[in-house]
Amino acid sequence: AGLGVSMLMAISASAISFVCFAFVDDTDIIHTGPAVDTPGSQIIREFQQAMDCWEEGGLRTSGGALVPEKSFWYLIDWYWDGKQWRNKEIVDVPGTISVRSTDGQSRH
């Protein structure tokens, strides 16, 4: 579905793709844009799709659930100021990511 990370390794020139890092009950889901100029707002929309896919397709079907109080996300977005790359501030790229409550009745 085009979600996750795809990159070309610098030394081997091998292409790799992955969507998360997981260990037991701790999972980090990651997503990048297809190009360096992909807007942060697009990344947020696509990351919400990745979260929904992981939550509904992977966790709930097996009886698991994300716990909103234990879930965090961070957008890392850069801009070129003419001299160097700088981090964008939250006010520059506002957005939210939501997950279903453990009872599945509401979104947080």
Predicted confidence (pLDDT) per residue in 16-66, tens digit? 998 888 887 788 889 998 888 899 999 999 999 988 888 877 777 777 778
The partner residues of 26 in beta bridges, in order of sequence, read 23
Secondary structure (3-state) at 51: helix
Q: What is the pTM for the complete model shown?
A: 0.80
Distance CA 96, CA 81 (A): 26
pLDDT computed for residue 63 by the predictor = 74
Identify the bridge partners of residue 56 per DSSP, sorted by sequence position: none
